[in-house]
Structure 1
Amino acid sequence: MQVGLIGAGNMARALARGWGEPVLCSDSGSGRAEALARELGGEACKSNVEVAERADLVVLCHKPAQFEDVSRELHGHVKAVASVLAGKRSAILRSHFGVPVFRFMPNTPVEIRRGVVLYSPERDLDEHLEASVLELFGRLGTLVQVP
């Protein structure tokens, strides 16, 4: 599964390091995406849309305040979305993207695969996709399902 990260801050870095596989990433011009891509052998894309079009799963790792702008930009380009954004409910994610969505709340020890990742399950998801995404996030530590 090709993973794309929108944002390349602390949580994006922790996730990518925990997965230990090349990822596609983008940032708002800070240069962090390029540094992350160099470190893990991934690729810093020129735009969020490029990440979305090339990734099987887009992980929203940007600041929650950027959500409206990012969701408008990505709408129609994503296949599936996983969000680690605080305060964004599944219904909001579904309405903005219209694709399968997953909500996770990880902590930074995921970087060394010792994190705790809270997962809010969704209904009506493709079983294969859900299993793949849960396996991906499960590699980061303990996956805990919450209502």
Structure 2
Amino acid sequence: MLRIGFVGAGNIAQALAKGFIAAGLTKGEAIIASDPHPESLKKFEKLGAQTLNSNIAVMNQSEVVFLAVKPNIVPLVLSDIKSFVRRDKHLILSAAMGVTLTSIEQMLPPRTKVMRIMPNTPVIVRNGVCVYVCGSAVKEEDEIITRRLLESVGTCDRVPESIMDAVTALSGSGPAYVYTVIEALADGAVRMGIQRDMAYRLATQTVLGAARMVQETKLHPGQLKDKVTSSAGTTAEGLYHIEKHGVRAALIGAIEAATLKSQEINKKFA
């Protein structure tokens, strides 16, 4: 059983920990987390995990260490743990947005095994999207461990670091866009007379079902859209309204804006 540590116990750390436990890869008592915020630690304690305020204790008691802190905190955390990193023991997985592998490796002892990961919050229900980039000292067995962990909570792909900002914008931020779409669909249904609880239920299942259709049929989304759209029908009218009001352009723009923001953060640590 892997001993897993979390430096930072916020939302993404909690989601990963819950996912790993649900997948049977570890147990709560094999997890240790550090964070300065008591409310975050309480959520880890409910999982049966050990919690404390010491990043150093996390290093001493863990083999795989998730760095799950805000980008601006990364230098402080790495300075704190640097002297306690053991190259023969530790695999460090950084989920810090916009902080490059080169930057992290430069702040740690030479040949430290570091990987950069980008999971999204649906890992908590084991339907997340995860990608990773291997650092210069990572070996095949380290990659196998990382894939085993991330695949237990969703899909997992190795990607070049050059697209990490775009991945952050798409799958990292993407759930928020989808939640907004579900909320808007439900609001529209309520406006047309459907009760609120049913509107959310129908909108949620519609999005889930449509996504599964794309995933399982392997058809282009445009093909599936055309199969639903009858001549002069309700779907055609709704699609016309969507195009008229630039919904597609807004979503495309959201990916661009979020990518540029990630790149901006990236430059601060270059």
TM-score normalized by structure 1? 0.91
Taking the aligned partners of 2:52 and 2:127, their CA distance within structure 1 comes to: 29
**Residue 119 of structure 1 aligns to which amino acid in structure 2?**
Y
**Residue 41 of structure 1 aligns to which amino acid in structure 2?**
G
Q: Does 1:103 align with 2:111?
A: no
**Who wins on radius of gyration, i.e. which is larger?**
2
Q: Does 1:66 align with 2:73?
A: yes
- Judging by fraction of residues, say which structure has more strand: 1
Taking the aligned partners of 1:32 and 1:132, their CA distance within structure 2 comes to: 26
Secondary structure of 1:97's aligned partner: coil
Partner of 2:7 in structure 1? 6
User: 5+ unaligned residues in a row in structure 1: which ranges?
Assistant: none
Taking the aligned partners of 1:139 and 1:145, their CA distance within structure 2 comes to: 15
Any conservation in 1 of the 2:12–2:68 contact (CA below 8 Å)?
A: yes
Any conservation in 1 of the 2:36–2:53 contact (CA below 8 Å)?
A: no
**Deviation (angstroms), 1:100:** 0.2
Taking the aligned partners of 1:14 and 1:91, their CA distance within structure 2 comes to: 26
**Deviation (angstroms), 1:31:** 3.4
Secondary structure of 1:142's aligned partner: strand
Taking the aligned partners of 1:122 and 1:102, their CA distance within structure 2 comes to: 5
Secondary structure of 1:5's aligned partner: strand
Partner of 2:18 in structure 1? 17
Taking the aligned partners of 1:124 and 1:36, their CA distance within structure 2 comes to: 31
Partner of 2:82 in structure 1? 75
**Deviation (angstroms), 1:57:** 1.3
Partner of 2:102 in structure 1? 91
Deviations 1:18-43 (A, max 9, x none): 11132100101333123312x21110
- Judging by fraction of residues, say which structure has more helix: 2
Partner of 1:141 in structure 2? 154
Secondary structure of 1:24's aligned partner: strand
User: 5+ unaligned residues in a row in structure 2: which ranges?
Assistant: 22-26, 161-270
Taking the aligned partners of 1:125 and 1:12, their CA distance within structure 2 comes to: 22
Taking the aligned partners of 1:72 and 1:117, their CA distance within structure 2 comes to: 27
Secondary structure of 1:76's aligned partner: helix
**Residue 101 of structure 2 aligns to which amino acid in structure 1?**
S
Q: How many pairs are equivalent?
A: 146
Q: CA RMSD in A?
A: 1.4
Any conservation in 1 of the 2:19–2:152 contact (CA below 8 Å)?
A: yes
**Deviation (angstroms), 1:124:** 4.2
| Higher relative contact order structure (alpha carbons within 8 Å, sequence separation ≥ 6) | 1
